[in-house]
Amino acid sequence: MAGRIEDYALIGDLQTAALVGRNGSIDWLCFPRFDSPSCFGALLGTEEHGRWLLAPVGATECTSRSYNGDNLVLETLWETPTGTVKVIDFMPQRDATPDVIRIVEGVSGSVEMRGEIQLRFDYGRVVPWVRRTDHHRVAVAGPDSVWIREHPSIRSYGKDFTTVAEFTVHAGDRIPTVLSWLPSHYTAPPRQDAEKSLKETLDGWHEWAAKIRYQGPYRDLVTRSMIVLKALTYQPTGGIVAAVTSSLPEEIGGVRNWDYRFCWLRDSTMTLSALVRGGCIEEAAAWRLWLLRAVAGDPADLQIMYGVGGERRLAEQIADWLPGYEDSTPVRFGNAAVAQLQLDVYGEVVDTLHTALQAGIPMERAAWGLVKALMSFLEDHWHEPDEGLWEVRGRRRHFVHSKIMCWVAFDRALKMAETTGLPAPLDRWRTIRDTIHKDICTKGYNSALGTFTQYYGGKTLDAATLFVATTGFLPPDDPRVVGTVEAVRDHLVHNGFVHRYSTAAADGAKAAVDGLTGREGAFLACSFWLADALVAIGREAEACALFEQVAAISNDLGLISEEWDPEAKRQLGNTPQAFTHVALVNTAFLLAQGQG
Ligand SMILES: OC[C@H]1O[C@H](O[C@H]2O[C@H](CO)[C@@H](O)[C@H](O)[C@H]2O)[C@H](O)[C@@H](O)[C@@H]1O
């Protein structure tokens, strides 16, 4: 059975990632890309769906674990009655093949170790044929092959479609196992020197993390979040995935299970802004090139998300052979939200291009051409109902947040045109910006309730309306802004955590606004957004207390998923999620500014 979501550690090579449990089991790994089918999928089922256990014989949980500094090299320690052992897990920067390397280090005494490698390709469905060569065990099925190279001191044998390894580690020993993926028609992968790879991996992360500039009281949290955001970046293209997992539930046992291994324009633009804020400029330049390639074509065909290579077809499928995380079904691969209209993404893209310009990345012609094409599309469509940033699966509505972000798109496009002198229909854009503003203030604000609402004419709330306080849409001391911040704080907070909206049916409707059954946890990014809004309206102390309370639920390694169950007190949803880590970084920077 899979562990709790917060039990998992992340290792990755900037093209894919693996999750390692506190019991020493790698329960999630997709080769060769983030969005490839898994070969270890126990996270969404049982060990029969693939995993790699490496732990002392009879051990359940480790004694402690940590990253070896500002990197993704995981060190898991077990203290046993006969001795102490450390397992060092990492994925080296990609060369010819993607690899996972596990080095067992004897710290004191001697410890009996056991490894169990159960490879199950195609999301746990395919049991490969395994054979032995001179130096490897090779597992092959269909397009995939995995090559396992063990240290000579490891005795391994096949049993019940599992490669079992048994060995003793003594103080001072370092015993590596290297697992590499190759397309199945290739011959053996190049031989990896595990210790050399470890040093290169540590050096690579050290060099990258040295760029991070944050001066404030939350250094460790911010640095870990920035490393997570970097790990979610697909290095060959600059695309950024929303999380490394699929179908970790937003409600245990519920249906709200989605695949996040894609590049949402919303999530990736927010990630970019956080990376730029933290001093990582190169990633912004790479992402902009990714964006220009991904969206090339008719602006009317712009999608709200793409594959890491810019792929457009991300069809949603149900994996009915997988029992799901703690029986949460259906398990989905692909994401039907790809076909939705979400008008906010225009604002997020243009806002991020504006942030990049302010950070010194010049606006070249192709990027400005994109801005103009986006604005031209938005001119004709801003007034339409859409599915909004929460990607509702109910009917389209005039979501207030979507409209605010349309206003942001025109506002930032104008700012860029004004500062660069680039050609633009300035008067027309100003007129539309002001028309949108008036539309929102007339139809999206409920004066009886004293707050902006979730959608035009409704009475329900939405934490995304907090953006009225932080985008410059209205001055922060405007009573409508203060009223909205207070309404969210008073009505969407449960046990100290902010829900994005209510999942109960309201406004006389039979179904919930999101069209889904069940409920969900508190959406963690929204708690940080509330903290940002509190800072905007001058309530720093309240913001700081909220930030610290929310940040405290990150796991022992500083990782956070999408949601939090405020009653069961456990993480929910896909992990680690860019949205949450981005929001944490932004709030930490904001609070540091106030304290500086
Ligand atoms: O709540 C229903 C929707 O949930 C997912 O979307 C959420 O995650 C996205 C990626 O982080 C984020 O951009 C979005 O704002 C969130 O609501 C799911 O991907 C959707 O298919 C689903 O309808």
Q: Whose CA is nearest to atom 22 of ligand 1?
A: 391
The answer to whether 5-204 and 211-595 have equal CATH topology is no
Q: Which atom of ligand 1 is nearest to the CA of 335?
A: 21
Q: Would you say the CB of residue 525 lies under 6 angstroms from ligand 1? A: no
* C-alpha–C-alpha distance, residues 590 and 596, integer Å: 10
| DSSP assignments along 483-549, one per residue | HHHHHHHHHSEETTEE-SS--S--TT-SS-TT--SS---EEHHHHHHHHHHHHHTT-HHHHHHHHHH
Residue bearing tokens 């102490």: 84
Q: Which CATH architecture has domain 211-595?
A: Alpha/alpha barrel (1.50)
Global pTM value: 0.96
Residue 240: band (very low, low, confident or very high) from pLDDT cuts 50, 70, 90: very high
Distance (Å) from CA 337 to ligand 1 centroid: 8
Say how many C-beta atoms besides its own lie within 10 A of residue 14's C-beta: 19
Q: What is the pLDDT of residue 595?
A: 65
Is pLDDT at 479 greater than 90 in this prediction? yes
Distance (Å) from CA 390 to ligand 1 centroid: 6
Is pLDDT at 507 greater than 90 in this prediction? no
Q: Whose CA is nearest to atom 19 of ligand 1?
A: 258
Q: Which atom of ligand 1 is nearest to the CA of 578?
A: 11
Can you give the length of the chain in residues?
A: 596
Q: What is the pLDDT of residue 285?
A: 84
> 151 CB contacts (<8 Å, ≥6 apart)?
167, 175, 176, 177
> 150 CB contacts (<8 Å, ≥6 apart)?
137, 156, 165, 177
Highest mean pLDDT of the ranges 49-58, 357-366, 498-507? 49-58
Q: Would you say the CB of residue 399 lies under 6 angstroms from ligand 1? A: no
Is pLDDT at 286 greater than 90 in this prediction? no
Summary mean pLDDT of the chain: 95
Strand partners, 498: 493
Residues 300-350: pLDDT tens digits?
Answer: 889 999 999 999 999 999 999 999 999 999 999 999 999 999 999 999 999
Using left for φ > 0, alpha for ψ between -120 and 50, and beta otherwise, residue 379 falls in alpha
Q: Which atom of ligand 1 is nearest to the CA of 391?
A: 23
> 555 CB contacts (<8 Å, ≥6 apart)?
6, 7, 8, 571
Residue 298: band (very low, low, confident or very high) from pLDDT cuts 50, 70, 90: confident
* Alpha-carbon Rg for the chain in angstroms: 24
Express as a percent the part of the chain with pLDDT over 90: 86
Q: Whose CA is nearest to atom 17 of ligand 1?
A: 390
Distance (Å) from CA 391 to ligand 1 centroid: 5
pLDDT, average across residues 249-260? 98
Quick one: fold of 5-204? Beta-galactosidase; Chain A, domain 5 (2.70.98)
Q: What is the pLDDT of residue 128?
A: 97
User: Side chain identity at 502, as an amino acid letter?
Assistant: S
Q: Map out the domains of the chain as residue ranges.
A: 5-204, 211-595
Q: Whose CA is nearest to atom 1 of ligand 1?
A: 390
Q: Whose CA is nearest to atom 11 of ligand 1?
A: 242
Indicate the helix (H) or strand (E) that contains 404.
Answer: helix 400-420
